[in-house]
Amino acid sequence: MSAYVLTLPQLRGIMWDVTKAITSFPDNQILHAFQPNGQPGFEITQNLIYLNVSPQDDPNDKQQYTLYGPGDNLNATGATTYTTVFSVDFTLYGPNSYDNAVMIKSRILNDDIREIMTNQLVFPVADIPAPRYAPYDFNDQYYNRTDLTVTIYVGSIRTASVPYLQSAAIISIPDVGPQIPFFVEPGGTLPGSGLDFSDPGNSEYIPLT
């Protein structure tokens, strides 16, 4: 299995597709926030959606599962799968901002919309907090604004080569009888063991218990 890891721009793109499918807004009214060079502004009468995707800590992003499979003569393959968790922040402006937020909150769990995500290992969490209506003061006018946050679980797979054991030292230790410690003087012998105790460093021999 090859590696599959979605980049942040890819995730933003998936969530843009999801938002488009839910709202059917024109392309120029579903926008990514924090574009490096900024972007043209908007007017108070327009219904717009700004998207931001950012990583989020979660108990479910700690586990990893590695599945080993055959590789070449020297290596096996290890495919490690894990979950990363992101919060998708929808910032909605315009007279219908709240209604659009409620529509996204509801529709994002429908099968036709989830399919866009699940095909790419993106899974929305059903526990979606209520949208927050937070009008925004600009040029002495309150712009209608509603914030909605949806948590998504994203599956990732990374592969690595795992080398096979090529050789191993095998040491045979003779059965020396009773499992009791005993002592051999330097230069002494232990009948039947074949061990050489002429080296003082080997003078003490304690069988493994």
Partner 1 sequence: MFNLARIIGSRNWNQNFTVNRMAGGYVKGYFVPTVTVLNLDGAIIPHKTRKSVKIPAGDTIEGAIDIYTSTTLMTASQNATLDGTGNLPDEVIWRGDTYKIISEEDFSDYGFNLYAAVRKSSSLADSIVTP
Residues found near partner 1 in the complex (CB under 8 A): 9, 12-13, 16, 26-32, 35-43, 46, 48, 51
Tell me how far, at minimum, the Cβ of 30 lies from partner 1, in Å: 5
CA separation for the pair 53, 23 (Å, rounded): 18
HSE toward the beta carbon, residue 182, CA cutoff 13 A: 9
* 101 membership: H or E segment, kind and range: helix 97-107
CA separation for the pair 23, 39 (Å, rounded): 22
Residue with Cβ nearer partner 1 (145 or 197): 145
Tell me how far, at minimum, the Cβ of 113 lies from partner 1, in Å: 17
Residue with Cβ nearer partner 1 (17 or 61): 17
Tell me how far, at minimum, the Cβ of 27 lies from partner 1, in Å: 5
Residue with Cβ nearer partner 1 (38 or 59): 38
Tell me how far, at minimum, the Cβ of 152 lies from partner 1, in Å: 17
Contact 12, 32 (CB under 8 A): yes
In single-letter form, the type of residue at position 72 comes to D
Q: Tell me which residue of 95, 99, 68 sits closest to 81, measured CA to CA.
A: 68
Residue with Cβ nearer partner 1 (12 or 105): 12
